[in-house]
Structure 1
């Protein structure tokens, strides 16, 4: 069944590259990374920015329709977690945030040399298997009220 899972790679950048990657990932300091991304028709999305976008959309459309709103908002407001997520960048292939294992592995192979070169600090691979993904802490889990007729 693991063949059914989709994947996402995330890279973690050195502090001095974070703002450049958020505003202009094609800047000269990130040329080696830009080459790899271009080869795979890929782009970066800062995890902090993705979380902030989710919170903003929830606030525009009603937080009741966004089950991870409270947890995500708490995450971006926590200074330690904010710093962690500012360094993390999800790699999207085309418009897709998740993609096949083969695509993830090919991308990972091309990114590995950038760790040695210092362009990136590390790579992590995530899959869509719920057993491998964090669940909201108890305090942020929704309590569905049972309605009686």
Structure 2
């Protein structure tokens, strides 16, 4: 028997298997909510490791610009490491000093602007005001969020 004949017979057998499969009904598909999906059962230490290796930590590159909703408006804040890294100052290095507390998941800045800033890796977090949490976004000041403490562009090349 030639290989052409063997290939043809094999093809016919495979097509026969497909037709038998098509006759049997597939199990019903139940839609799921996104909350029900579990991508991996990792404990929090693995999640922290990946987050820290792939995203920027607060204050790793200096001062931060923070923006958060305040009623119908957006409020902005400036948080600057000061006193040799022992404190965080509001507005600039000579501004009022707040306290930085580090937890495994958060950089918590207390005592500035009458609020508590919960900053996480990657540029997000929460602003606590009167016991309520609202989402916030932060960015390193030198990355183009204002005049900042460093050049607004990360390259030495002119951008006219």
Q: TM-score, normalised by structure 2?
A: 0.24
Higher relative contact order (CA 8 A, sep 6+): 1
Q: Is the strand fraction higher in 1 or 2?
A: 2
Q: TM-score, normalised by structure 1?
A: 0.26
